[in-house]
Amino acid sequence: MNALHELQRAFQARVFRRDAAIEPQIAAVDGDVVVERLHIYEHAYRSRLVEALGRCYGILRVALGTRAFDELATAFVLATPSRHRSIRDYGGELSAFWILVTQPTVWPSTNFSRGAPQLQSVLTS
């Protein structure tokens, strides 16, 4: 593989899985600056996916409230990196994830577990 492709793979691994392999390839004075620079991209990527999920699941976002929905969506993004080239194709698995995380044995103290039975029926129908 060529160097650009390897760099892109390492960058993607960082954004998706916080893999540190790319850090030595980032120009910076010290390691803290490298981590800060990479964090900007990690945060932007995740924020865009959370925002897109909020648009696709607008009723759920209103029902849960912005903060609880963003927590749910962020957990989903961290657990389910996109495998799609387009952001519009991302999020189809959110209903299955919702059912999983609203189970008390999986995530007992979530803000978004209240009202789960009613919302589960909306998401899975």
pLDDT tens, position by position, 96-121? 888 787 765 544 455 555 555 455 54
Q: Residue 39: which domain range?
A: 3-124
CA-CA-CA-CA dihedral for 87, 93, 94, 97, to nearest 10: -140
Position 83 pLDDT exceeds 60: yes
In angstroms, how far apart are the furthest CA atoms of the chain? 53
The answer to pTM > 0.75 is no
Number of domains the chain is built from: 1
Q: What is the pLDDT of residues 24-61, one digit of tens each?
A: 888 776 767 888 888 898 899 889 999 999 998 888 88
CA–CA gap between residue 112 and residue 71 (Å, rounded):
8
